[in-house]
């Protein structure tokens, strides 16, 4: 094992950067040379990402945008001469987002930065007006029920109002002292605890609260889920489909909240266009380069296609999608007759629980059984910097051999984690790891993904770093080629799982979970 680790880490050690284009390959493999040149000199990454994020836009499961994306991907693959199809795995509640406009009209006029949450009700083609009120600080569920008649015809604010919308690093830089910074954070934490207690005292959780307010006659629910970055909010789904639910920017939410708290009579006007489309089919898009020698063994390129729809779904996960599309395009051009079958899966429903990839694994046990390697990419626009062997003890040797043939321009960034631990969730590779299949996540450099683009209203095309995605597509194409040509099957021997430091008990291999094939309530 020590010799293996030395070999693997030697292939991935971080070296002094060399200028792009000045790299030489450690072998004279002509296919790797052609992959490099095609990916560097004829990249389609920019045009693919621009169409997907700007023109098609977000891809909420069950939305017209998601279906348009599936059809575009199939047409694009076919234009490259690659067989592709949309494969239905279930149904979901269909919903279309339209125009949303929220204005403060009293005590002064201001158009507010607001976004309707997914699967929210609209205003039925008209504008509605009403006062804005803050959820009261009741002491018991009975007191809350006694207050409820007051919400009829009003907008209700149910989120914590941030005392400052400045980022913590901004405070750390400019506060007059560490003590002043600490006082701000302590006061904020105390206020957050008090707000959590206010919610708890209603006897309802956040989801139940929204629906209860709707049934009591509220005009709309106003929320704010600040992402702790400048101008960035998390945008998810509504908890009720009875009335509109909107997320409002940190700054504008604070404005309306303070006006209401101080008795200054805020009145809001809302126009929200939304349409429920009934039960609609949900799909995975699958494309294939058939194997010539071992067609029943598979390389699977993996990325989820769906997104939340607060922005354009650019780094979550158009970047992963484009990485896999560009890798397939390159492979079709320079390696059109692979030894093993090369598939790509663009999964639907990842954001609701890996549903598309779990369904594919469940529906295609022959592919899971024949899997040589799966390469998944999901977490943002950065270059790949970490690959875990997912607890498979023989995987490191294969990656070591493959990495020894790759250009240093790519490998110098990457750490291989041997043997690593199997992923239990988080992205679609976990849908295959649970079977003990060799499925690997190509984990990327952050670029402040968690704060600024993951599930936010700022996940747009301009956040994509094109050269980083280009790098990842070349890496993926090379790994797919090397895995296809490898004379040996990837072994599935599992590590002895370590002890969980929190519980003191031995960890277990993740269990496979059934996909949700519709949006009926689940007990999972």
Structure tokens at 112: 């507010």
- Name the 3-class secondary structure at 177: coil
The pLDDT, as a whole number, for residue 521 is 63
User: Which residue, among 326, 348, 350, has the nearest Cα to 480 in the 3D structure?
Assistant: 326
Do 165 and 302 have their domain in common? Answer: no
Question: By mean pLDDT, which of 25-29, 316-320, 355-359, 414-418 is the weakest?
Answer: 25-29
Compute the distance between CA of residue 118 and CA of residue 135 in angstroms, rounded to an integer: 22
Average pLDDT score, the chain: 94
Q: Which residue has the higher pLDDT, 62 or 524?
A: 62
pLDDT classification of 338: cutoffs 50, 70, 90: very high
What are the phi and psi torsion angles at 174 (to 5°)? -115, -10
Contact criterion met (CB below 8 Å) for 495 and 391: yes
Co-location of 201 and 224 in the same domain = yes
The pLDDT of residue 14 is above 50: no
Using alpha carbons, select from 135, 178, 514, 219 the residue that is nearest to residue 360: 514
Asked if the structure places residue 139 within a domain, the reply is: yes
Count Cβ atoms below 10 Å from residue 47 Cβ, excluding itself.
Answer: 10
Query: How far is CA 71 from each of CA 284, 352, 359, rounded to the nearest angstrom?
Result: 11, 21, 20
- How far, CA to CA in Å, does 120 sit from each of 103, 135, 218, 247, 417? 18, 20, 14, 11, 43
Q: How many domains does the chain have?
A: 2
Q: Does residue 301 have a pLDDT over 80?
A: yes
- Strands 220-223, 267-289: pairing is unpaired
pLDDT > 90 in the chain, percent: 92
Residue 150 falls in which region: left (phi positive, over 0), alpha (psi -120 to 50) or beta:
alpha
pLDDT tens digits along 176-200: 999 999 999 999 999 999 999 999 9
What pLDDT score does 5 carry? 40
Within 8 A by CB and 6+ apart from 147, the residues are: 136, 138
Is residue 505 domain-resident?
A: no
Paired sense of beta strands 83-106 and 294-304, if any: unpaired
Last residue of a domain, which of 225, 241, 265? 265
Is a pLDDT exceeding 70 seen at residue 524? no
As a whole number, mean pLDDT of residues 58-76 equals: 98
Same domain, 194 and 328: no
The DSSP-derived string for 299-328 is: EEEEEE----SSS--IIIIIHHHHHHHHHH
pLDDT one-digit tens code per residue, 238-295 = 999 999 999 999 999 999 999 999 999 999 999 999 999 999 999 999 999 999 999 9
Residue 309 structural domain: 2-11+23-92+279-485
- Tell me, yes or no, whether 42 and 188 share the same domain: no
pLDDT value for 4: 41
Here the tokens at position 201 are: 């005292």
In a domain, 222, yes or no: yes
Q: Provide the angle, in degrees to the nearest 10, between the axes of the packed helices 395-403 and 466-485.
A: 110
Residue 412 falls inside a structural domain: yes
What tens digit of pLDDT does each residue of 357-389 get?
Answer: 999 999 999 999 999 999 999 989 999 999 999
pLDDT of residue 520: 73
pLDDT at 473 over 60: yes
Are 456 and 354 in the same domain? yes
Split at pLDDT 50, 70, 90, the class of 158 is very high
> Distances from the Cα of 168 to the Cαs of 160, 164, 448, in angstroms?
17, 9, 14
84 and 58, same structural domain? yes
d(CA 119, CA 280): 14
Residues 162 and 217 in one domain: yes
pTM of the entire predicted model: 0.93
Decide: 132 and 155 in contact? Cβ < 8 Å. yes
For residue 2, what pLDDT band results from cuts at 50, 70 and 90? very low
pLDDT band at 447 (very low <50, low <70, confident <90, very high): very high
Q: Is the pLDDT of residue 41 over 70?
A: yes
């Amino acid at each position: 094992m020590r010799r293996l680790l030395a070999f693997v880490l030697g292939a991935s050690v971080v070296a002094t950067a060399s200028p792009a284009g000045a790299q030489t390959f450690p072998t004279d493999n002509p296919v790797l040379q052609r992959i490099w040149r095609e990916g560097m000199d004829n990249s389609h990454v920019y045009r693919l990402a621009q169409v997907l994020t700007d023109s098609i836009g977000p891809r909420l499961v069950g939305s017209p945008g998601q279906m348009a994306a599936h059809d575009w991907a199939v047409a694009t693959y076919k234009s490259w001469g690659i067989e592709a199809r949309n494969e239905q795995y279930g149904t979901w509640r269909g919903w279309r987002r339209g125009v949303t406009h929220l204005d403060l009209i009293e005590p002064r006029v201001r158009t507010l930065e607001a976004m309707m949450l997914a699967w929210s009700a609209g205003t039925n083609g008209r504008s509605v007006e009403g006062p804005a009120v803050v959820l009261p600080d009741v002491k018991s569920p009975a007191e809350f029920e006694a207050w409820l008649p007051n919400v009829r015809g009003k907008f209700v604010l149910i989120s914590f109002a941030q005392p400052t919308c400045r980022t913590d690093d901004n405070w750390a830089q400019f506060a007059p002292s560490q003590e002043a910074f600490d006082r701000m954070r302590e006061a904020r934490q105390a206020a957050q605890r008090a707000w959590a207690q206010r919610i708890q005292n209603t006897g309802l959780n956040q989801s139940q609260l929204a629906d209860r307010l709707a049934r009591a006659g509220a005009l709309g629910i106003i929320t704010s889920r600040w992402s702790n970055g400048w101008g960035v909010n998390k945008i998810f789904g509504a908890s009720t489909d009875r009335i509109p639910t909107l997320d409002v920017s940190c700054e504008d939410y604070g404005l309306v909240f303070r006006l209401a708290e101080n008795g200054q009579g805020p009145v809001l006007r809302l126009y929200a266009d939304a349409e429920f489309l009934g039960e609609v089919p949900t799909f995975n898009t699958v494309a294939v380069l058939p194997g010539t020698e071992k067609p029943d063994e598979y390389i699977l390129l993996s990325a989820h296609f769906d997104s939340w729809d607060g922005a354009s779904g650019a780094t979550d996960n158009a970047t992963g999608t484009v990485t896999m599309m560009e890798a397939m395009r390159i492979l079709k051009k320079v390696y059109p007759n692979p030894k093993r079958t090369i598939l790509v899966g663009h999964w639907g429903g990842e954001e609701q629980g890996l549903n598309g990839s779990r369904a594919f694994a469940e529906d295609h046990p022959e592919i899971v059984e024949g899997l040589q390697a799966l390469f998944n990419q999901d977490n943002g626009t950065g270059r790949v910097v970490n690959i875990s062997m997912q607890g498979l003890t023989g995987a490191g040797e294969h990656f070591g051999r493959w990495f020894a043939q790759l250009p240093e321009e790519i490998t110098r960034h990457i750490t291989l984690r041997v043997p690593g631990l199997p992923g239990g969730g988080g992205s679609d590779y976990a849908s295959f790891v649970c079977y003990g299949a060799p499925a690997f996540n190509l984990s990327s450099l952050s670029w402040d993904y968690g704060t600024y683009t993951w599930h936010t209203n700022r996940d747009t095309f301009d956040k994509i770093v094109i050269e980083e995605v280009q790098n990842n597509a070349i890496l993926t194409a090379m790994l797919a080629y090397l895995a296809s040509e490898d004379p040996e099957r990837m072994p599935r021997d599992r590590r002895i799982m370590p002890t969980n430091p929190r519980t003191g008990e031995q960890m277990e291999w993740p269990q496979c979970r059934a996909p949700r094939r519709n949006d009926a309530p689940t007990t999972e």
